[in-house]
Copies of this chain bind each other. A is one copy, B any other.
């Protein structure tokens, strides 16, 4: 039984690697840009980056890669057998089998894959803001919305392992087109992309007059401009953040109706704007939740593990699954 595991969190822009002890302490950490070239077949370039990270850890800490438990969190539909079925935001790795790639390249024997949102949920359940909560939902607000569901103390992986793709729950039938090909997905309204889209829409409609003037045109108003201006008290920006918070609450209320979740852990890049989103979202929940006043208070809390949630959860997966 290994004292340490490696968690690898592969995102659209960077691959984060952590070396983790059994009690969730991060002992070492590496960050590398995610390559987007398709050379060598599905996932080859990314597999090379991960192999380098693993070898670096092994050298620095005198570890044997062949016995090391390694977990990988991937943004996409990860099948129960570990193969990546579909990664809409990381096309070059769709279909890749990293366990095979890493066995062939560096002799790693214990490599386990899981969806990144599911990893984050498992990480928060083990060591973060969902610790000991038998029913909660992890919501990662990044470019899109990912997540993972813990019900009855277990991860809901579903039939094929694709559970927790909550960002593709449709909240506006026949709404705006999503990258997945669907219309009206939650992540078109309450994610980083959703904020950017709404900012452009509002700017075009003249509802972000000051920001548009400052940035020299509606097309230049970015999501970051809105969150910054809102934090500085600009009313038009606060109004837009409230709109995003309403959409966030709309999706959370749906998950409450379906799962009777009383606890949400909010992570991901956009959660840095948590101060501007979560208080309003909590208020909107009161009006949007079915039977709100019959339920105990609903907790909406920022991630305890922040940017490390996915990588830590991937390490937890490896600890749990290594025979």
Contacts and interface: CB of A to CB of B under 8 A. Distances in A.
B250 A173 contact: yes
Interface stretch (A56-64, A164-172, A310-318): A164-172
B160 A262 contact: yes
Interface stretch (A151-159, A213-221, A233-241, A301-309): A151-159
B160 A261 contact: no
Interface in A248-269: 250, 253-255, 257-263
Contacts of A263: 159
Given A170-B171, A290-B182, A295 B165 contact: no
Contacts of A85: 291, 294
A159 B255 CA distance: 12
Interface string A59-77: 0000000000000000001
A16 B298 CA distance: 35
A135 interface: yes
A154 to B, nearest CB: 5
Contacts of A130: none
A173 B294 CA distance: 23
A31 B263 CA distance: 40
A149 interface: yes
A180 interface: yes
A74 B269 CA distance: 42
A84 to B, nearest CB: 10
A171 B258 CA distance: 12
Contacts of A290: 165, 168, 180, 182, 185
A193 to B, nearest CB: 16
Contacts of A160: 260, 262, 295-296
A159 B257 contact: no
Given A250-B173, A254-B170, A163 B291 contact: no
A258 B151 contact: no
A291 B205 CA distance: 34
B170 A158 contact: no
A86 interface: yes
Contact of A157 (B159, B161, B260): B260
Contacts of A250: 170, 173
14 contacts: A77-B294, A85-B291, A86-B291, A151-B152, A151-B163, A152-B154, A154-B154, A160-B262, A160-B296, A162-B295, A165-B258, A171-B171, A180-B290, A182-B288
